[in-house]
């Protein structure tokens, strides 16, 4: 069959399944909503971590910024529920992008491990700051306004909202990776000095990449604050040890630097995690830690990365012509 | 003073080590110029200074009429002065085609430009250049899976993709199978003749550089030791002594 049709059917089936999921699995709506959140986490982390080779442990900052900004708008802007929420999401995303641009101009100059450690510091600092700032509730956090619809409608609404963000993020990234942007950030990953020597404006690409990441994290952060219904500075908004680490793991599990890898990784990780919670209660953290070790030891390249090493031809890496009569240039 | 690259009195020191001292040389457009010298004589340092990899301590470097000694790597590359590396540098996890296309001489000046699509013209150009260096059949392989010699050819093709006015080649034949060297030399000559690209070549293989270059500069201990046409350099007592370690 025509690969375009196969792809269209695949995407179509995926979307239909996602749309009807609330009807067939209404008991698990919050968990399903979080599945989309996880997919957004993994996809946005992979822009820097996978495609650009900058392992960020600070992306959680943008998530928290979006969450708080939205809650502040909802509290202070005097708008009714839905306008307040959507304006809040917009402001949250915009503020997250602004923070990314500001932080990026300094910290994106760091390379390798230094960047990872620097960003780790950012996440922790943001949590501490939010926990001490009384305008946003300090240590006692914030409570977004109550959902005005019927009881149980809240979960359905936020399921579709999270789904919308994930479904928006995926084609945008797909489009970006297929153009000059994708090639340039891949070049930065493989050899940043070479990229500079070839006239690629690396700083501009790096900042743009982080801002795109921040945009979607800001949006999803705003939604998650309302979905959970309570914003704790360290455990929900700037939750580095949970969300912040998971986004890294999910991308690695699925395969860094691939489009579908983070999505697959997020689904597997989230389902496994929920199963641990259900069947290994009391030991769920131990089991999760064990899973993390397994991922890092046995799947350092992730599922997609492993498949690519195993069957490179399937991913298009093949020699086009049979080695013609030994030619001085190509022969080895 | 009709030269594309004009270097005057360049000095570069790393702490107490003077890597280049009072080096002056000039390259006329359309020529192939050689740069030789024993190991550690400061050839690669001079290359790094020219392309803006580090600031120089004294002197002036002019390219195509612009003073470039204060400019950064990216700016200098945009002006059309490109270098290849002694330790070949390609983007290992990207395919050969991707390596080529990302090397196209785009301006990244506007924010909208960094999201642009890849034009069919660039794809064609990349394929043609890969044919030129004999890597067309391997264009879908990841660059990191190529042999060292093939990676050198790819790096060379990437530099051509950028349509430079001048190329600085750091030991283009190092680590290449002797039977391939002839093919590479022919390509360097064709690039110079057909594409009109000026070449400044660091080379240790004397047979290669003597046949390739029209004029040769020799560095020793960071200073310019001798200059002249290949036959003059070949018979220069000081050059021979420097290579054999007479001082």
**Average pLDDT taken over every residue of chain A:** 88
The predicted structure's pLDDT at residue B23:
92
Which is more confident, A38 or A282?
Answer: A38
The partner residue sitting opposite A183, judged by closest CB among B101, B138, B141, is B101
Domains of chain B: 5-244 (3.40.50.300)
With beta carbons under 8 A apart, name residues in chain B contacting A261.
none
- DSSP-based three-state secondary structure for A326: coil
**Mutation site, A197, A325, A328, A331, interface B, largest B CB count within 10 A:** A197
For the residues A112-129, what does the mean pLDDT come to? 91
Tell whether the model's pLDDT for residue A86 goes beyond 80.
yes
Contacts 24+ apart (CB under 8 A), A269-273: A269/A38, A270/A31, A270/A34, A270/A35, A270/A38, A271/A35
Q: How many residues does chain A have?
A: 332
Total-model pTM: 0.88
With beta carbons under 8 A apart, name residues in chain A contacting B102.
180, 183-184, 186-187, 195, 198, 200
Neighbours of A270 (CB within 10 A): 22
Å from B200 to nearest chain A CA? 16
Å from B178 to nearest chain A CA? 10
* Distance, CA of A302 to CA of A294 (rounded, Å): 11
Which is more confident, A152 or B213?
Answer: B213
- Per-residue pLDDT in tens (0 to 9) along chain B, 247 residues: 578 999 999 999 998 899 999 999 999 999 999 999 888 888 999 999 999 989 999 999 999 988 998 898 888 998 999 998 888 899 999 999 999 999 988 766 667 778 888 889 999 999 999 999 989 999 999 999 998 888 999 999 999 999 999 999 999 888 888 888 888 899 999 999 999 999 999 998 888 899 899 999 999 988 999 999 998 988 888 888 888 765 5
The predicted structure's pLDDT at residue A328:
47
Domain residue ranges of chain A, discontinuous segments joined by +: 27-239
* Distance, CA of A247 to CA of A249 (rounded, Å): 6
Indicate the pLDDT class of residue A323, thresholds 50, 70 and 90: low
For the residues A217-242, what does the mean pLDDT come to? 92
Q: Residue with structure tokens 């050899």?
A: A191
Phi and psi for B108 in degrees, rounded to 5? Answer: -100, 25
- DSSP-based three-state secondary structure for B111: coil
């Amino acid at each position: 069959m025509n690969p375009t049709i196969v792809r269209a059917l695949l995407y179509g089936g995926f979307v239909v399944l996602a749309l009807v999921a609330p009807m067939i699995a209404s008991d698990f709506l919050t968990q399903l909503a979080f599945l989309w959140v996880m997919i957004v986490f993994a996809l946005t982390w992979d822009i820097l971590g996978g495609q650009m080779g900058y392992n960020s442990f600070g992306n959680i900052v943008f998530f928290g910024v979006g969450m708080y900004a939205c809650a502040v708008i909802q509290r202070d802007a005097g708008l009714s529920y839905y306008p307040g929420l959507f304006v809040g999401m917009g402001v949250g995303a915009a503020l997250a992008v602004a923070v990314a641009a500001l932080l990026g101009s300094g910290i994106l100059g760091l390379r390798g491990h230094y960047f990872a450690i620097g960003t780790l510091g950012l996440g922790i600092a943001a949590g501490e700051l939010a926990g001490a700032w009384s305008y946003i509730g300090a240590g006692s956090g914030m409570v977004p306004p109550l959902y005005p619809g019927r009881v149980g409608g809240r979960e359905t609404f936020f399921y579709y909202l999270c789904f919308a963000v994930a479904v928006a993020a995926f084609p945008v990234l797909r489009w970006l990776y297929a153009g000059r942007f994708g090639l340039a950030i891949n070049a930065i990953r493989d050899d940043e000095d070479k990229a500079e020597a070839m006239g690629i404006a690396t700083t501009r690409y790096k900042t743009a990449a982080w801002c795109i990441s921040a945009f979607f994290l800001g949006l999803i952060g705003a939604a998650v604050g309302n979905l959970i219904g309570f914003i704790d500075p360290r455990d929900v908004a700037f939750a580095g040890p949970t969300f912040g680490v998971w986004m890294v793991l999910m991308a690695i599990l699925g395969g860094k630097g691939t489009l579908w890898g983070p999505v697959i990784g997020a689904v597997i990780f989230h389902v496994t995690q929920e199963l641990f919670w259900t069947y290994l209660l009391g030991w769920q953290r131990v089991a999760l830690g064990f899973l993390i070790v397994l991922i890092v030891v046995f799947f350092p390249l992730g599922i997609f990365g492993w498949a690519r090493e195993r069957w490179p031809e399937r991913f298009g890496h093949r020699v086009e012509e049979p080695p013609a009569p030994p030619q001085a240039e190509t022969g080895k | 003073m009709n030269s594309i690259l004009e270097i005057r009195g360049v000095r570069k020191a790393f702490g107490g080590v003077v890597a280049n001292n009072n080096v002056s040389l000039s390259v006329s457009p359309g020529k192939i110029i050689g740069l030789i010298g024993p190991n550690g004589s400061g050839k690669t340092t001079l290359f790094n200074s020219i392309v803006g990899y580090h600031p120089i301590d004294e002197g002036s470097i002019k390219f195509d009429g612009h003073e470039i000694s204060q400019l950064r790597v990216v700016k200098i590359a945009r002006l059309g002065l490109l270098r290849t590396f002694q330790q070949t540098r390609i983007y290992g996890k990207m395919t050969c085609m991707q390596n080529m296309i990302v090397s196209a001489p785009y301006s990244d000046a506007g924010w909208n430009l960094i999201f642009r699509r890849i034009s069919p013209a660039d794809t064609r150009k990349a394929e043609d250049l890969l044919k030129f260096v004999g890597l067309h059949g391997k264009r879908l392989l990841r660059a990191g899976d190529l042999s060292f010699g093939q990676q050198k050819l790819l790096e060379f093709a990437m530099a051509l993709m950028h349509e430079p006015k001048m190329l600085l080649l750091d030991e283009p034949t190092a680590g290449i199978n002797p039977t391939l060297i002839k093919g590479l030399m022919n390509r360097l000559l064709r690039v110079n003749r057909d594409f009109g690209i000026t070449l400044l070549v660091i080379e240790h293989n004397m047979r290669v550089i003597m046949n390739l270059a029209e004029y040769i500069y020799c560095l020793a201990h960071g200073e310019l030791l001798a200059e002249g046409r290949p036959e003059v350099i070949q018979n220069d007592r000081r050059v021979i002594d420097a290579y054999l370690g007479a001082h």
